[in-house]
């Protein structure tokens, strides 16, 4: 069931990673707006992603993977034909496509952040 997915360790992995990331990001924005950006916040913004980004993405992917059997069995968020809109949608397939999309997208975003780090620090 979906409750089993919510108790996966992978959920904790991405929640911790994205929570720390957002705390750093919004601290960075706040101090920047106040024109008083401590170097530690700047350093954290452009350094901790090296660990937190892969950690968050791994947690997301593992959680989606853990949910796949439930989604397939339950038909969650899927729309079957026939219906009055003559439209179908398979959420299970969509989730697999989302997981596959991480292959080309993650490296681009990660290397962009590394480039930003070199430029700023």
Give the residue numbers marked as catalytic. Answer: 53, 60
Calculate the alpha carbon distances from 116 to 39, 52, 70, 112 in Å: 16, 16, 39, 6
Nearest Cα neighbor of 65 from 120, 121, 119, 13 is: 13
Q: For residue 64, with 0-12 CB atoms within 10 Å meaning exposed, 13-18 middle and 19 or more buried, which class applies?
A: middle
- Residues 9 and 14: their CA atoms lie apart, in Å, by 9
Pair of tokens at residue 91: 């959420």
Residues 55, 17 contacting (CB under 8 angstroms): yes
């Amino acid at each position: 069931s979906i409750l089993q997915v919510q108790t996966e360790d992978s959920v904790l992995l991405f929640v911790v990673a994205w929570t720390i990331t957002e705390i750093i990001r919004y601290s960075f924005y706040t101090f920047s707006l106040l024109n008083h950006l401590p170097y530690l916040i700047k350093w954290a913004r452009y350094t901790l992603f090296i660990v937190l980004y892969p950690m968050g993405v791994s947690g997301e992917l593992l959680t989606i993977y853990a949910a796949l059997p439930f989604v397939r069995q339950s038909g969650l968020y899927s729309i079957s034909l026939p219906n009055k809109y003559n439209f179908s949608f398979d959420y299970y397939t969509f989730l697999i496509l989302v997981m596959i999309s991480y292959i080309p997208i993650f490296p681009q975003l990660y290397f962009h952040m590394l480039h930003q780090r070199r430029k700023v620090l």
